[in-house]
Amino acid sequence: MENKHQQNTNAIPASSKKGKLKQKLEELSVKIDRWSRKKPFRRKMYLNRSLYLMMLPYLVLFILFTVTPVLMSFSLGFTYYNILETPKWVGWQNYLDLFLNDPIFIIAVKNTLIIALITGPIGYILSFIVAWLINELPRYLRSIITLVFYAPSIAGAAALTIWALIFSSDIYGYANAYLIDWGIITEPITWLQDADYILPIVIIVQLWMSLGVNFLAMIAGLKGINREYYEAGAVDGIRNRWQELWYITLPNMKSILLFSAVIQIAGSLNVGAVTTTLAGFPSVQYAGHTIVNHLQDYGHIRFDMGYASAIATILFLSAILLNKLIRKIIRKVGT
């Protein structure tokens, strides 16, 4: 080792700048090598330095643009901060206010939970079923069908316009027009101004939009399963599609199922745009008010960033809790 090192330095003329730099770098690496020999933990890190080097660029950016902002808003949750003045430390006051003095927050929590508990699991299963069904189609047909199902996510604002049209409160709205035609109702229903209907409509629209990132990830996951497993399964006595699904498909894409679950949790707890576009802000009797709406209310309208950050922290913690629960369920798949 030492000998080789000597040879290397001899080969480069000492006068050139580049050679000097190289020599210094090598001296440094020898030093690090010696330093790492003392402890097994350090040694493991040193031996895998190329792997750490591969992770470095992402991690630097990740810490800068994701970790730091999140940590900053964590700490803002304990302050009063109106964006213009410097934050004032208030301790747990924001959290106490949230749970004790803010009845609207409780409504928002209730609404969010209802939306999340219904749209989360159904949307998840729906994405999987559709992905699974179209998996075996020829590739061009499949990509077009995928596009069709992904359309609500790709169309953006236009997607919600359709629903505003369907549930328009006059007799021209599609829902009202058909219901009157069929003689079920005699007067138009003010769908999006009626506290009883807002939440169900939001849930329907959210379900319709549920084939998003999840769906694409699941298609990728299904494509990642090796075909030979199915042949081997058929030889080993798997007789129908359902057995194939449970014993081969699902266990082989467990990691993607986990990914989709995480995305689904985050997505269904962060419902906000749908309610404001459909039912307006604030919705009648806060019937469609979600936690994210509440957060935006304080963050972007009342400029109480401290309070908004506290809400965000609560939302974050509940997402983590749900995630832990769902991980346990997914581990049991295929056993």
Partner 1 sequence: MAKKDVDLNDKIKKREEKKRRRNERKSKAIDSRPFAEISSLKIIVKSRRRKRINRSRFGDIILFIILCFAGLISALPLILIVSNAFKPLDEIFLYPPNLIVRNPTLNNFRDLGVVLATSLVPFSRYFFNTVFVTILGTVGHLFVASMCAYPLAKYKLPGNKVILGTITYSLMFPAAVTAIPHFLILTWLGLINTHWSIILPVISSSLGLYLMRQSMVSVPTSLLESAKLDGASEFTIYRKIVMPLVKPASITLIILNFRSLWEAQGSVTIFSEQKKMLSYALTQIATAGPARQGTLAAVSLIMITVPIIMFIVSQSHMIDTMAHSGMK
Reference 249, options 273, 226, 272; nearest CA is 226
Q: How far is the CB of 195 from partner 1 (least distance, A)?
A: 25
Residues between 90 and 109 that touch partner 1 (CB under 8 A):
none
Looking at beta carbons only, is 25 or 147 nearer to partner 1?
147
261 binds partner 1 (CB under 8 A): no
CA distance linking residue 116 with residue 264, whole number of Å:
9
* H-state helical runs in 135-252: 139-154, 157-166, 174-181, 195-208, 213-223, 227-235, 241-244, 250-252
Among residues 217, 274, 287, 326, which is the contact residue for partner 1, using CB under 8 A? 217
Helix (H, G, I), strand (E, B), or coil: what is residue 266? helix
Among residues 113, 225, 250, 330, which is the contact residue for partner 1, using CB under 8 A? 225
Residues forming beta bridges with residue 79, ordered by sequence position: 89
Helix axes 139-154, 103-134, angle to 10 degrees: 170
Looking at beta carbons only, is 65 or 182 nearer to partner 1?
65
Stretch that binds partner 1, among 94-102, 115-123, 186-194, 209-217 (CB under 8 A): 209-217
Question: What's phi and psi for 76, nearest 5 deg?
Answer: -65, -25
Residues between 18 and 57 that touch partner 1 (CB under 8 A):
41, 44-45, 48, 50-52, 54-55, 57
6 binds partner 1 (CB under 8 A): no
Among residues 9, 16, 68, 285, which is the contact residue for partner 1, using CB under 8 A? 68
* Six token digits for residue 104: 């609207």
Beta carbons of 90 and 82 less than 8 angstroms apart: no
Among residues 21, 28, 32, 64, which is the contact residue for partner 1, using CB under 8 A? 64
Residues between 137 and 196 that touch partner 1 (CB under 8 A):
139-140, 142-152, 154-156, 158-159, 161-162, 165, 168, 172-174, 177
